[in-house]
Structure 1
Amino acid sequence: MTTRTVVHGPDLSVELSLVAERLALASPAGAGDVGRTGRPLLVAGMDEVGRGALAGPVSVGVVVAALPDAGPQPAVRDSKVLSAKRREALVPEILAWGAAAAVGHAEPGEIDRYGISAALALAGRRAWHRVATDLGRIPDALVLDGRDNWLPRSPLQASVGLAPGPGAVHLQVKADATCATVAAASILAKVERDGLMTGLAEAFPDYGWEGNKGYGAAVHRQAILDRGPSPYHRMSWNLGLSRGQESTPVWPQRPEQGREQGLQQGEWTA
């Protein structure tokens, strides 16, 4: 007799526990109102991609589930264990399942200006703003991957006009492997950022971005030494360049304002 091992993927257990906590903390009248009106509680999952890349944006995905009944869940997994084809196939399922979903970006100039942690928070706040706008309300809670709540570190001058952040943040280690909303967010962020880097590779073909997506692969690092940095490289990072090369990129710079305005709208085009 053959015994099969059942591998369980991410589910909504953590998200539903947050719903239970919210209802337990609510007044009896408030809990009754939830039951009578059928108004769901909105729990979001958030995850990032591109933190360690040498070029391109840092991107943050957010997916919101309307609980307690979010409907049939897509077969999401941590984006890193899925093939590119499978990730892309899951995108329409995730968008149909989630109450709202978005990906926010912070561009290399913002990473250089504010630092990676603040730029990561800015990308997250941009994604959060988009889902809050689409929903017409702030989600009730957020599940964030890891041990560190980096979302409040968004630079004030770049966050003007964005929706307020979440009131309740639940930190969950390995959330992209256990929490359905976070796994879904990781897939959206990965697919969108990979697409942006593949598009940029057509304009800047020397760096191999269609394959390495801006990370420090050997072919990418060698091209930086041979060709110099592009406008999409993070100049504050160790690119292995001499001081003269760091200060004088070979490629012409794009207008900074236009790049940042496009990213705030979730766009990134070469």
Structure 2
Amino acid sequence: MASSPEGLFRHDLDLGADQVAGADEAGRGCLAGPIVAAAVLLDRGCLESEGDGRLSGIRDSKKLTAKARERLYPEVLACAVRAVVVMRSARYIDENGLHVSNIECLGRAIEGLDPDPGAVILVDGFALKGCQVPHRRLVKGDSTSAAVAAASIIAKVTRDRCMARAGNAYAGYGFEGHKGYASAAHRDAIRLLGPSPIHRLSFDSEAYRS
């Protein structure tokens, strides 16, 4: 597996395409907040130069610190041919289901890229049923492909910023810290305050029943 930054770029170059796109999501397993998908389109020049060295530290967003993700976020946007972000709210997830919401976000994101003919589009972990854009499912794509890793950074930073704003809007839940994941502090806050308007009530969490 191409887990080093150099290996991620080499993986995408070896695909032989002039453009490579990656798509990934953030927030699938959270109790609160949106699910966010990002798609990033990179050209061969960017892949060969690693964005003139600006993307040399790129990797799966989960393996980066928050500070490193914030540093790389504008660099990815500057180097990308195009980047698209799509999100679905907690209410949408409750009404339509997590899987449908996830697939829809990823599909809409890659549909918005408008790549050149012959571009290779990689989606982390999922084949997107119903999506009209040809794409390839890549298991562990965020630790294999530079384009998917770039998308994972855009999705993660976008969502973290949303949850930081939610922390200001809904005091006491600590969204700015746990970002909506099911930490002990988050579950305790739900027991104390009840669910907020951005909690996913369709999720079967014991915190909702206490």
The alignment's TM-score, normalised by the length of structure 2, stands at: 0.86
Alpha-carbon distance change, 69 to 79 in structure 1, aligned in 2, over 3 angstroms: closer
Alpha-carbon distance change, 140 to 180 in structure 1, aligned in 2, over 3 angstroms: same
Q: Provide the residue aligned with 2:181 in structure 1.
A: 215
Summarize deviations over 1:154-182 as a string: whole Å, max 9, x none: xxxxxxxxxx6321x22222221121001
1:16 aligns with 2:8: no
Q: Provide the residue aligned with 2:21 in structure 1.
A: 44
Tell me the amino acid that sits aligned with residue 23 of structure 2.
M
Alignment counterpart, residue 86 of structure 2, candidates 80, 83, 104: 104
Tell me the amino acid that sits aligned with residue 90 of structure 1.
L
- 2: CA distance, partners of 1:218 / 1:49: 20
Higher relative contact order (CA 8 A, sep 6+): 2
How many aligned positions are there?
Answer: 201
Q: Provide the residue aligned with 1:195 in structure 2.
A: 161
Tell me the amino acid that sits aligned with residue 202 of structure 1.
N
1:59 aligns with 2:36: yes
1:87 aligns with 2:65: no
Alpha-carbon distance change, 139 to 123 in structure 1, aligned in 2, over 3 angstroms: farther
- 2: CA distance, partners of 1:186 / 1:138: 24
**What displacement does 1:122 show?**
1.6
- 2: CA distance, partners of 1:86 / 1:200: 22
The alignment's TM-score, normalised by the length of structure 1, stands at: 0.68
Name the SS for the 2:15 alignment partner: helix
- 2: CA distance, partners of 1:11 / 1:86: 17
What percent identity do the matched residue pairs reach? Answer: 38
- 2: CA distance, partners of 1:202 / 1:52: 22
The structure having more radius of gyration, on CA atoms, is 1
- 2: CA distance, partners of 1:231 / 1:239: 16
Alignment counterpart, residue 72 of structure 1, candidates 45, 49, 52: 49
Alignment counterpart, residue 165 of structure 1, candidates 132, 135, 138: 132
Alignment counterpart, residue 232 of structure 1, candidates 182, 190, 198: 198
Contact 1:108 1:234 in 2 (8 A): yes
Contact 2:35 2:88 in 1 (8 A): yes
- 2: CA distance, partners of 1:129 / 1:138: 13
Contact 1:91 1:187 in 2 (8 A): yes
- 2: CA distance, partners of 1:187 / 1:138: 26
Contact 1:16 1:68 in 2 (8 A): no
**What displacement does 1:13 show?**
3.1
- 1: CA distance, partners of 2:143 / 2:47: 19
Contact 1:104 1:125 in 2 (8 A): no
Summarize deviations over 1:11-39 as a string: whole Å, max 9, x none: 2333334336xxxxxxxxxxxxxxxxxxx
- 2: CA distance, partners of 1:58 / 1:82: 20
**What displacement does 1:71 show?**
5.1
Query: CA RMSD for the aligned pairs?
Result: 2.2
What runs of 5+ residues in structure 1 fail to find an aligned partner?
Answer: 1-6, 21-40, 154-163, 246-270
Tell me the amino acid that sits aligned with residue 84 of structure 1.
A
- 1: CA distance, partners of 2:26 / 2:192: 27
1:140 aligns with 2:140: no
Tell me the amino acid that sits aligned with residue 114 of structure 1.
N
- 1: CA distance, partners of 2:136 / 2:84: 19
Alpha-carbon distance change, 19 to 175 in structure 1, aligned in 2, over 3 angstroms: same
